[in-house]
Amino acid sequence: MPAESGSNRRPATGAFFQRDRTWHPPALTPNYKTSVLRSPQKAPLSFDNTLSEITGPVFGHAMLGELDADLIHNFARPGESAIGERIIVYGQVLDERGVGVRGALLEFWQANAGGRYRHKKDGYLAPLDPNFGGCGRTITGEDGGYAFRTVKPGPYPWPNGPNDWRPSHIHFSVFGHGFAQRLITQMYFEGDPLIWHCPIVRGIPDKAAIETLIATLDMQATIPFDARAYKFDIVLRGRRASLFENRLEGN
Amino acid sequence: MAQSLGRLRESPSQTAGPYVHIGLTPNFCGIVGVYPNDLGATMVNDKTKGERIGLRIRVLDGTGTPLKDALIEIWQADADGLYNSPAELRGAADPNFFGWGRCPTDMETGLCTFDTIKPGRVPFTDGRLMAPHITLWIVARGINLGLHTRLYFSDEEKANAEDPILARIEQRVRVPTLIAERQGDTYIFNVHLQGEKETVFFDS
C-alpha cells in the first residue's frame, strides 16, 4: 500500500514476535472430536520470519459496499430488517505493543437470532430468517477502530457430544500487515453460561486467554431505543523493532 | 517486581468452523448479493507478468479422507520475486498481481484450485535466495489454529536443493511433503494433516 497522502510514516518491516503457542488451543483437543483426525502430530518447523511472512496483502476501503458492516440490512429485502436483538459490536484491532492496527480487513460471520446458519450443512430446526445472510466486513480506521451492526446470534446444538451447545458467538477473520499475523477467532458474549461448557472454547488452556474473547456490554455506547453495544478488541502479533539489528541494505 | 513491559497478548485462535464459507466466500455457498464477488477468487488478469500455472490442492485428514469444508489462502511473490505489500522495500511489484488468493475446498471432491503465476525467488533473511514458493494458510472445522506451510515446485530441483528453509528439515524424508508435482501447467499438492506423510507445518 502506498503511504497515505500527507503521511511520512515509513512502513514497518520487522519480523513478528514469536507466537506463544501455549496461549492458543493446541492442535489436538480430544473433547472437540473433529480435531482428533485433523491435528498435526509432528512438531512444527520453527524459523524467524522471512519476507514471505513479514509481507501481506493490503485491502483498500474502496472494496467496501455501503451495507457491508450492517448485517441487519445487507441481506434484507428493501424496507425490511433481520429479526433479533439489535446490537453494535465495536472495538480496536491492536498489536501486542498496544498500537492500533490501521487498515486491517475484518470479516465476520454468524448464525441468526435463532442459532441457524444460512448454509446447506446446517440442519438445525430453528428457522432461517429471510432477511439475514450472516456475513459482514469492514476495514479498521487509523487507530485500528472498527464497528458493525448486527443481531445477537443464538446458541445452537451441534454434533459433538450427545448434547453439546455452542454459546452465542461471532466468527472473526483478521488480516494484519503481514501474512504471519493472519488470525481467525470467535467472539463470545459477557454473561453467557454456555461459554464454560463449550468444548471448542475449552480447548484454550488458560482461563485468562478465554476471557480475552468475551465481549463486554457497554451501555455508554448503546443507541437508546435502538441497539445495545458490545466492545471487542482483537490483538495481533506485534512487530519487533529493528533496534541495533544487523540488516542487509534494502532488506 | 521489575517494570512491566506493558505488552498485550495475541488473541487466542478459535476454529473457523464448518460455516467459514458464509464469512469468507459467501457467493460460493449461495449467499448472493451481499458482496459482488468472493475475495481472492481471481488472481491474474491479461496483463499479469509471468508463467501461468494452476494449483490443485487437497487437504487430507489422518485417514486419508479429503476435507470438504476447508479453506485455503495463498500468498506469493510476483514473477520477479517481489511482494505486493507495504513491507516490500526492494521495489514495486507487478501492479497487475495482488499475490493473494482464497479458495474453499470443493464440497464434493475436496479439491481446491488456483490459477496463478509462478513466483520469482525471494531472498532469505541473510540475502541468499529462497527457492520459488507459495505460502499456504489452511483453516477448517477441527483445526484450532490456522496451519502455515509452503508449496515448492518439483521442476525447481536446483533451487530447492539450496533453499534455506527446506535445508532446515532434519528428517530429509519429509522434504517432499512440501514439493508440488508438476503435470503439464498444473501442480498437484496434497497436504497431509497426519500420518507418515504428514506435511511439514511451520511456526514462524
Q: Determine contact, residues A190/A196, Cβ cutoff 8 Å.
A: no
B4 close to A (CB below 8 A): no
- Give the C-alpha separation, B117 to B85, whole Å: 17
User: Are A19 and B22 within 8 A, CB to CB?
Assistant: no
- Write out the catalytic residue numbers of A: 117, 156, 166, 169, 171
B175 close to A (CB below 8 A): no
- Give the C-alpha separation, A182 to B203, whole Å: 13
User: Are B202 and A47 within 8 A, CB to CB?
Assistant: yes
Does the domain at B20-192 match CATH 3.40.50.800? Answer given as no
User: Are B7 and A97 within 8 A, CB to CB?
Assistant: yes
Q: Which chain A positions have a beta carbon within 8 Å of B8's beta carbon?
A: 94-98, 235, 238
Q: Determine contact, residues B127/B162, Cβ cutoff 8 Å.
A: no
Instruction: Give me the interface pTM, i.e. the ipTM.
Output: 0.97
Q: What is the pLDDT of residue A2?
A: 42
Residue of B nearest to A184 (CA): B13
- Give the C-alpha separation, A232 to A236, whole Å: 13
Q: Which chain B positions have a beta carbon within 8 Å of A49's beta carbon?
A: 125, 204
Binning pLDDT at 50, 70 and 90, where does residue A12 land? confident
Residue of A24, A118, A122 lying closest to B144 (CB–CB): A24
Mean local confidence (pLDDT), A141-168: 98
Mean local confidence (pLDDT), A3-13: 57
| CA B72, chain centre distance (Å) | 7
User: Are A25 and B145 within 8 A, CB to CB?
Assistant: yes
Tens digits of per-residue pLDDT, B119-159? 999 999 999 999 999 999 999 999 999 999 999 999 999 99
Tens digits of per-residue pLDDT, B84-94? 999 999 999 99
Of B202, B89, B133, the residue nearest A180 (C-alpha): B202
Single-letter residue type at A109? W
Burial class (CB in 10 A: 0-12, 13-18, 19+), A228: middle
User: Are B143 and A48 within 8 A, CB to CB?
Assistant: no
Q: How far is CA A75 from CA A78, A203, B38, in A?
A: 9, 33, 16
Residue of A25, A37, A98 lying closest to B144 (CB–CB): A25
Helices H / strands E in chain B, number of each: 2, 9
- Give the C-alpha separation, A55 to A53, whole Å: 6
Quick one: CATH architecture of A72-235? Answer: Sandwich (2.60)
Which residue ranges make up each domain of chain A? 72-235
Tens digits of per-residue pLDDT, A171-216? 999 999 999 999 999 999 999 999 999 999 999 999 999 999 999 9
